[in-house]
Amino acid sequence: MSELTGNRTRTTAGKLGLPHLAETINEFARRADEAKMGYLDFLDLVLSEELAVRDDRRFRQGLRLSRLPHHKTLDEYDFSFQPDLDPRKVKDLATLSFVEAKANAALLGPPGVGKTHIAVALAVAACRAGYSVYFTSLDDMVRNLKAAEAAGRLANKLGTYLRPGVLVVDEVGYEILERGEANLVFQVISKRYEKGSIILTSNKTFSEWGQVFGDEVLATAILDRLLHHCDVISINGPSYRLKNRLKAIERDADVA
C-alpha cells in the first residue's frame, strides 16, 4: 500500500467516524498481505475489528453512566457457599431473556448473601449486550424523587429512572417508607411496567412489603405490576461478609 493511499484511507476513515481503522490501517494491510486475504476477507476483518472496538467503547461508557457500585461478574460469585441456590436459575437470568421481554427479576434474602453481587453481574451483562443500565438504592431513589417533587421537577427526575433499559433497585426493605414516598415508588414501577426491566434486591419477603411501604393497598399495587412478569430468586444461605469477618478474626487470633 502506497503512502498516498494510506494517508487518504486514514483521512477518509476519520471522516467516517472509524478511528480504529484510521490508527491501524498499516497493521491491517500487513496482516492482509501475510495471510494473502481476498478483498472480502480483508473488508470483513476491518469492519469486525472496528465494530468490536466500538462495542467495547460503548460498554465502558455505559458502565460509567450506570452508577453501578462495582463491576463484578457471575464468575466471581461463590455458588458453593450457597448450596441451596441453584446456579442454573441465575445463569438463566444471565441470558437476559427477561430484559428482552421487558420483564423483571427479584433477588430476596437476608443481608450478606450476595444479592447485590448477582444484581450487578446481571446489569453488567445487560450493559455489554447494549442495554442502558442505571443503579440506585431504593432509599436514594426516594430521596431524589422527593427533592425533585419539592422543587417542581418531579417529571424530569422520573426520567432518570424511566429511561434506562434496565433499572437496578437495591436494598428494598431496609427503610420503612411513608405513604407519599411509597407513592413515588409506585409511579416508577407503574410507568416502567412492560416498558423496561427492573432488577431489585430485598431483605424482606413480599408478604412484608405492606409494612415496608406503609400501606397494604399501595404495596399490593406495586407488587401486582412488579410480579406480573418477574423471575424471583430467594437466597437463604449464610452471609459472605460474616464469613470473611470470621476468617479475619481467626487470622488475628492465630497471629496473637
List of residues 6+ apart from 206 with CB closer than 8 A? 108, 223, 227
At 244 the pLDDT is 58
For residue 206, the domain's CATH number is 3.40.50.300
- Which residues form the domain of 8? 3-66
CA gap 205, 108 in Å, rounded? 7
Write down the number of H helices and E strands in the chain.
12, 5
Residue 137: inside a domain, yes or no? yes
Is residue 130 located within the same domain as residue 32? no
Is residue 177 located within the same domain as residue 146? yes
Is residue 51 located within the same domain as residue 78? no
At 247 the pLDDT is 52
Residue 2 has a CB neighbour count (10 Å cut-off) of 7
Instruction: Give the three-class secondary structure for 206.
Output: helix
CA gap 158, 162 in Å, rounded? 6
The answer to whether residues 154 and 145 touch, using CB atoms and an 8 Å cutoff, is yes
Residue 255: inside a domain, yes or no? no
Q: End-to-end CA distance of the chain, in Å?
A: 70
The cell 412478569 sits on which residue? 229
Q: Which of 26, 45, 66 is the last residue of a domain?
A: 66
Is residue 41 located within the same domain as residue 87? no
CA gap 106, 206 in Å, rounded? 10
Residue 247: inside a domain, yes or no? no
Is residue 213 located within the same domain as residue 114? yes
Residue 220: inside a domain, yes or no? yes
| Eight-class DSSP state of 83 | T
Per-residue pLDDT of the chain (256 residues; tens, 9 = 90+): 567 776 787 887 778 777 777 778 888 888 888 888 888 988 888 888 888 888 888 999 999 999 999 999 999 999 999 988 999 999 999 999 999 999 999 999 999 999 999 999 999 999 999 999 999 999 999 999 999 999 999 999 999 999 999 999 999 999 999 999 999 999 999 999 999 999 999 999 999 999 999 999 999 999 999 999 999 999 988 887 666 554 544 454 454 5
List of residues 6+ apart from 160 with CB closer than 8 A? 134, 144
At 220 the pLDDT is 97
Residue 249: inside a domain, yes or no? no
Is residue 125 located within the same domain as residue 225? yes
**Phi and psi angles of residue 130, each rounded to the nearest 5 degrees, phi first:** 105, 5
At 158 the pLDDT is 98
Is residue 18 located within the same domain as residue 121? no
Q: Give me the residues paired with residue 198 across strands.
A: 167
CA gap 117, 109 in Å, rounded? 13
At 19 the pLDDT is 79
Is residue 53 located within the same domain as residue 143? no
At 249 the pLDDT is 47
At 7 the pLDDT is 78
What is the torsion angle, in degrees rounded to the nearest 10, for the CA atoms of residue 194, residue 197, residue 201 and residue 205? Answer: 20
Residue 192: inside a domain, yes or no? yes
Q: Which of 66, 84, 100 is the last residue of a domain?
A: 66
Is residue 57 located within the same domain as residue 84? no
Q: Which of 15, 31, 66 is the last residue of a domain?
A: 66
Grid cell at residue 210:
405492606
Residue 251: inside a domain, yes or no? no
The cell 421481554 sits on which residue? 101
Is residue 109 located within the same domain as residue 140? yes
Is residue 167 located within the same domain as residue 113? yes
What is the CB-side half-sphere exposure of residue 203 using CA atoms within 13 A?
14
At 23 the pLDDT is 78
At 115 the pLDDT is 96
Q: What domain count does the chain have?
A: 2
Is residue 34 located within the same domain as residue 155? no
Residue 172: inside a domain, yes or no? yes
